[in-house]
Amino acid sequence: MSNKDVGGKIKIVADNRKASFLYEIIEKYEAGISLYGPEIKSVKSGKVNLSDGYVVIKNGEALLLNVHISPYEKAARENKDPLRTRVLLLHKHEILRLLGKIKEKNLTVIPLKIYLKTGKAKVEIALVKGKKLYDKRASIKERENKRELEKAVKGGRRVQ
């Protein structure tokens, strides 16, 4: 993926690589994230872990839970809990759409990546459905076949 976008520069800070393996991604959304001053400094330095994060919708707000943003070293008193609940900034119609899909089809919402876009922290969240074991095996096989094909093309050999 390129680091440039039509809307300006994008710097990917954290990526949830396991998400595409564990889940089938249905829809993606871009959301702002409400952070305190020391937290944004930690995000800019890349001290974020998304692996166990998920999104819950309560009282008409999208809340990001279980995402670890490490405390900023130089702001001892102002640091908050690294695993605290953070509010995602989405339009009301997007929140209602997500809520409807979650309840209707038994889906979940997870963060895929956190990035900086024109100096602001953004979260790419996705509406996902959990994969079954056989789907995961198919993903592994597909990835291995793709890797072998690329290897063959690079080496100039024919694939049998």
38 contacts 71 by C-beta, under 8 angstroms: yes
Tokens of 80: 């908050």
Sequence letter at residue 43: V
13 contacts 67 by C-beta, under 8 angstroms: no
pLDDT of residue 78: 67
Ranges of each domain in the chain: 4-131
User: pLDDT of 97-134, one tens digit each?
Assistant: 999 999 888 899 999 999 999 889 999 999 999 888 77
- SS3 for 40? helix
pLDDT of residue 41: 86
Sequence letter at residue 143: R
**Cα–Cα–Cα angle for 10, 118, 110, rounded to 5 degrees:** 55
* Domain boundaries 4-131, CATH class: mainly beta
pLDDT of residue 157: 60
